[in-house]
Amino acid sequence: MSTSPSPTDSEQFAAAVAVANLPTLLMVLVQMTGETRWLQPPYRPSRAVGLGDNDNGGLPPEIQAEVRAAALAALIAWRAGRPVAIAAPTPEMLVEMLSVSMGEEVPAEYGRFTEELFGYRPLSARAMAVPEGFHVVVVGAGVSGICTAVNLKAAGVPFTVLEKNPTVGGVWWENHYPGAGVDTPNHLYSFSFCQYDWPMYFALRNDLHGYLEHVAAQFDLAPNIQLNTQVVSATYEETSQTWQISIVRPDGTPATLRANVLISAAGIFNPPVRPQIPGLDDFAGPAFHTAQWRDDVDLTGKRVAIIGNGASCMQTGPEIQNQVESLTIFQRSPHWAAPFPQFRKPVPDSLRFLLREVPLYQAWYRVRLGWTFNDRVHSTLQKDPDWPHPERSLNATNDAHRAYYTRYIQQELGDRTDLLDKVLPTYPPFGKRMLMDNGWYRMLRNERVTLVDERITHIDANSVHTADGQAHPADVLVIATGFDVLNFINTYEVIGRGGVSLQETWEGDNAKAYLGTVVPNFPNFFTLYGPNLQPGHGGSLIVVVEMQVRYIMDVLHQMTAQGLGAVDCQPDVHAAYNDRVDAAHVNMVWTHEGMTTYYRNTRGRIVVNSPFRNVDFYEWTREANLTEFNVEPRAQA
């Protein structure tokens, strides 16, 4: 029997609907009532400008009021027990609805991918009947490891996660420098199977780590995770079709584990990179990497120097600028940064109520973020061979992006026009990682802050020296030079069939994998966040990882169902895929003439970023095709 919502409930819904994102609310209204007239004029939102949420949809006040009133009535009726009229829209309808909510045409091929972002697919679509003794080992308990563990547990597959740190979280436990946070909206930077009551639109480190601990607790992963356990090496044994994994236990004693399947979830943001600067070790004061932040060092009243001006510096600098006596930032090259209107912006309590209590609102809010931050700009990152200004941009749209971001930088700098030549990049937008502006340009106007673009020549006990002959005094030295991202899986050794190591196969910094996930001669081995998987054009890495894990789970299901003991990607399949990767990159911004970026290895090959759209990767990983693998029947125990 349904009951009417309480007065308090109705009041909360009314308060939430009054400030809700209207394009999202409109889609909730359509599904709850089944009335598709809301998809037609005069209710169609206009296209959003930039990366904002377009909260009012660009609609006239009277139309906004009509939509909100109808949505409130639908929500109260739903709360009282009325079922959702369109519980599961078809892929075709999802594309139509998403197109209307975004104010622009979304290609028809995005239907099934949109379903995936909705989280319609059950966590465990099918449990597995695994043979006795079958076991999976996962290396790493960060984002990728937790995602894998949740899926393995749901499918009934025995597994162990090995984690070198004292808790879960990976980079979101290790990185706790001031201002550390995510540059993807956290309602998208979260698992489709476990949403969260986020206090801010772009979460900082503590909330992100708290979320990962929450997921691990909700799915009771602790019994399967061995913390403070270092993986030394993993060697494939052909006769038994198993991996022998050498570890060091928390008490320092060595041990060996055996696994039928090995999944690397170690990520690429480790270990930290220290620059090769003469005299760096001679510095007398505290000197540490942002990834190894010294909480015991008080920066108050100190002269602080930061080497590097990428993402971690952009987050740290504005955070500490008013605490220090002076802040000197050494920049190797400028970067593009996008406006960040929701930086440090809390989610209002009323909206948190709506996101928490109405899964349909949360799902549509997530899907709209997915279109904004995933593939929307992919087509604009392709080189136009007829474009007359390749020295500054790739094509007409990319040139418009340059003009937009340039105006933004000028506005932020205000009267500090003397800084423009230092901070305005000469390369096309998106040529390097596009950063989100955390108040960086406003920070540069602070009289305590100095931006130095001269090359560092050497460091002594109390100063950083640059090529113009200047000595820059410092009490504390912060190293913000990133991570060794080009050498994938470099914290432990992996030995495959025939005694060949993964590092030899990958020639150090030239990693390749089919779908970024499997490598020939390394049977039953999968790598998450592998080569050419970072969505460099934008988007949530968690979305990519979920697609990878779904693919791996399908491989495991087919292995166990067909009595297979080993699956090994065929070399020609692997080679053809990576030829496609390289060919696609030729036409993209990251190979633009004169570009230098951490995405490229010493050969000039892009090894970090994916050149493909997320929707393409979704279709390729939706199901595993074992005809692309060499397969072996399961060996007798």
Q: Which two tokens stand for residue 445?
A: 């106007």
Quote the pLDDT of residue 125: 62
pLDDT digits (tens, 9 = 90+) for 363-374: 999 999 999 888
Is residue 4 over pLDDT 70? no
Q: Which two tokens stand for residue 226?
A: 């061995």
Percent of the chain at pLDDT exceeding 90: 83
In 3-state terms, the chain is what percent helix, strand and coil (to 5)?
Answer: 35, 15, 45
Percent of the chain at pLDDT exceeding 70: 98
Distance CA 118, CA 99 (A): 15
Quote the pLDDT of residue 338: 87
Phi, psi angle pair for 329, to nearest 5°: -110, 125
Taking the CA atoms of residue 202, residue 207, residue 209 and residue 214 in that order, the dihedral angle to the nearest 10 degrees is: -120
One DSSP character per residue, 484-518 reads: --SS-S-SSEEE-GGG-BHHHHTTTT----BTTTB
Distance CA 438, CA 409 (A): 12
Q: Is the peptide bond before 611 cis (omega within 30 degrees of 0)?
A: no
Quote the pLDDT of residue 5: 64
Quote the pLDDT of residue 526: 98
If you average pLDDT over every residue of the chain, what do you get? 93
Topology of 136-271+485-626 in CATH? FAD/NAD(P)-binding domain (3.50.50)
Distance CA 449, CA 422 (A): 14
Q: Which two tokens stand for residue 451?
A: 């931006």
pLDDT band at 120 (very low <50, low <70, confident <90, very high): low
Provide the b/e sequence for 374-388 (b: ≥16 CB within 10 Å).
bbbbbebbbbbeeee
Phi, psi angle pair for 632, to nearest 5°: -130, 140
How many residues does this entry show for the chain?
637
pLDDT digits (tens, 9 = 90+) for 502-549: 999 999 899 999 999 999 999 999 999 999 999 887 778 999 999 999
The domains spanning 136-271+485-626 and 280-336+378-479 adopt the same CATH topology: yes
Contact by Cβ (8 Å): 256, 244: yes
Q: State the pairing for strand pair 564-569/629-633.
A: antiparallel
pTM of model > 0.85 = yes
pLDDT digits (tens, 9 = 90+) for 465-516: 999 999 999 999 999 998 877 788 888 999 999 999 999 999 989 999 999 9
Is residue 451 over pLDDT 80? yes
Cβ contacts of residue 296 below 8 Å, gap of 6+?
none
3-state secondary structure of 5: coil
**Residue extents of the structural domains in the chain:** 7-106+347-373, 136-271+485-626, 280-336+378-479
Mean pLDDT to the nearest integer, 266-272: 81
- The CATH class, in words, for 280-336+378-479 is alpha beta
Phi, psi angle pair for 301, to nearest 5°: 70, 10
Q: On the CB side of 381, how many CA atoms lie within 13 Å of its CA?
A: 27
Distance CA 361, CA 350 (A): 13
3-state secondary structure of 479: strand
Alpha helix (H) ranges present in 103-142? 111-118
Phi, psi angle pair for 113, to nearest 5°: -65, -40
Quote the pLDDT of residue 1: 41
Q: What is the DSSP letter of 169?
A: -
